[in-house]
Amino acid sequence: MMKGRERRKFKRLSKTASLKVQVLAYKDQPIQLVSFYKDLGGGGMLFESEIPYEKGTLLKIQAMVPGWGGYIRNFKRTEENEKHALVTVGEVVRVEAFEDKGFEVGIHFVNIYENDHRALIEYIESMTDEME
């Protein structure tokens, strides 16, 4: 493995916004309101949790993405699209414990609406290009 070389397929954006997480299982699981995610990319996200999800667990994620409304292609106004949550199914690929309490959870998107995925990628690309 080469150090210093980016291995990710998609750019990531350090962003903080609210999300809801629910374990996908045969029996009903309660929704866990997670305070925020820490970064977001076209292939996944990183968030903090009080629950140490196991690797491979499938999660339904509903995340607010402030600023992406103008990239969603539909007949709604940008202001309306801003209220639209990113809904995806993600697989837990990384879990790290914090020293004090809680966990940092990395997920890989395994199912996402095509239009939302495209809008997310375009939004992140435009934001990261502005920062460079």
Domains (ranges, CATH) in the chain? 12-131 (2.40.10.220)
- Give pLDDT, residue 57: 94
**Which residues are CB-neighbours of 127 under 8 A, at least 6 positions away?**
13, 67
**Which residues are CB-neighbours of 22 under 8 A, at least 6 positions away?**
29, 30, 31, 32, 59, 60
- Give pLDDT, residue 13: 79
Which position has the higher pLDDT, 49 or 1?
49
- Give pLDDT, residue 2: 39
Least confident among 14-28, 60-74, 96-110: 14-28
Which position has the higher pLDDT, 25 or 3?
25
Q: Is 90 exceeded by the pLDDT of residue 94?
A: yes
Q: How far is Cα 117 from Cα 132, in angstroms, rounded to an integer?
A: 23
Q: Which residues pair with 30 in a beta bridge?
A: none
- Give pLDDT, residue 130: 66
Q: How many residues does the chain have?
A: 132
Mean pLDDT of the 76-89 span: 90
